[in-house]
Amino acid sequence: MAPKTVLITGCSSGIGLALAVKMARDKQKRFKVIATMRNLGKRGCLEAAAGVTLNKTLEIRQLDVCDERSIISCINSIPNRHVDILINNAGVGMIGPIECQTIEEMKGVMETNFFGVVRMIKEVLPDMKRRRSGHIVVISSVMGLQGIMFNDIYTASKFAVEGFCESLVIQALKFNIFVSLIEPGPVVTEFETKVYEDAENADYSTTDPETADMFTNLYLKNSKAIFSSLGQTPNDIAEHTLRVISATKPPFRHQTNAVYTPMTALKHADPTGALMTDTFYKMVFKYDTLMHISLKAIKVIRWQARKMRQGVKMLGFS
């Protein structure tokens, strides 16, 4: 069978980079990967990770999801504009009190995370419909299902993506086009570094001292602990995504971190929202210390499990 053409956005780092390389290295050579990034000056890491697959099963092209012309020119450069699988991965984070964020900055997040996805899908959908085949994958987030404090705009952008795809999926199915949302919890990538860097440079004088203190001493502290104990790797997300792509009947939604599933189920268990708000309120303001102890315990258990797996590998049992 001819390899499927896969176009991935945002491949200069993190999940996009890991996914592009994993697919390009597929043992059965099922994919031809068009790994795109907005700034080709950042191609070094991807080139190094791609190794021998570079310019064989993996090609690097310029594409900015906020620039329609760059999208059109990239798609037009593909023979017959034939994209079998589109993976919308490019995205940016934003954390902090909304009083400290400008409307322009908020629009920037929506431009990339929501309209970026819309622009990409608008460009490939007519060709996929004509061919009556295709798969559109979106790297959404658990925050596409559940809001997390101080992530108001980022959460809104991922909710927008989820609503858009939930509406599109039925029409697309009639054309034999699958739509899949991948919903990771925290993943250790530059995403985390960038949001913390922005948080460090932000001006908190535009909010009240209580909110500023809540953000820095409650949210940031907990968020860092959560990333270091529950955070997945870009490779974990690439593996999950590959499983979704390889399925005969790909799921519409796929969460990558089972720890977050109960958290996203709270609102469905109680449509008034009381169960969800009470649980989060208590987790943040009442059981903060307990949560910290549990996170530390999880970190130790995961570290021990990793060591054991390494030991088993070294002894040649796997």
Ligand X SMILES: NC(=O)C1=CN([C@@H]2O[C@H](COP(=O)(O)OP(=O)(O)OC[C@H]3O[C@@H](n4cnc5c(N)ncnc54)[C@H](OP(=O)(O)O)[C@@H]3O)[C@@H](O)[C@H]2O)C=CC1
CB 65 within 8 A of CB 116: yes
User: Would you say 8 or 226 has its CB closer to ligand RET?
Assistant: 226
Pick the closer one to ligand RET by CB: 175 or 280: 280
14 Cβ neighbours under 8 A, 6+ residues apart? 187, 189, 190, 191, 234
199 binds, among ligand RET, ligand X, none (CB under 5 to 8 A by kind): none
Dihedral of the CA atoms 267, 118, 136, 189 (nearest 10)?
A: -70
Q: Which stretch binds ligand RET (CB under 6 A): 102-110, 124-132, 136-144, 169-177?
A: 136-144
Question: What does 171-213 look like in DSSP terms, one character per residue?
Answer: HHHHTTEEEEEEE---B-SHHHHHHHHHHHH--GGGS-HHHHH
| Known catalytic membership, residue 154 | yes
Q: How buried is 187 (Cβ within 10 angstroms: 0-12 exposed, 13-18 middle, 19+ buried)?
A: buried
Pattern 273-312, binding to ligand RET, x per CB under 6 A?
-------x--xx----------------------------
Tell me how far CA of residue 157 lies from CA of 88, 110, 113, in angstroms: 14, 5, 6
Give which of ligand X, ligand RET, none residue 284 binds (C-beta under 5 to 8 Å, depending on kind).
Answer: ligand RET
222 lies in the binding site for ligand RET (CB under 6 A): yes
Locate 221 and state its tokens.
Answer: 């502290």
Measure the CA–CA gap between 141 and 317, rounded to whole angstroms.
Answer: 35
For the bound state, the minimum distance from the C-beta of residue 166 to ligand X, rounded and expressed in Å, comes to 17
32 marked ligand binding residue: yes
For ligand X, the binding residues (CB under 6 A) are 9-10, 12-16, 37-39, 42, 64-66, 89-92, 112, 116, 139, 141, 184, 186-187, 189-192, 194
In the complex with ligand RET, the residue whose CB is nearer, 65 or 128, is: 65
Distance, in Å, from the CA atom of 263 to the CA atom of 285, rounded to the nearest integer, reads 17
Cross-strand partners of 199 = none
Whether 21 has a binding-site annotation, put simply, is yes
Which residue numbers are catalytic? 154
Q: Which positions touch ligand RET (CB under 6 A)?
A: 141-143, 148-149, 185-186, 219, 222-223, 226, 280, 283-284
Annotated binding residues for NADP(+): 10-38, 64, 158
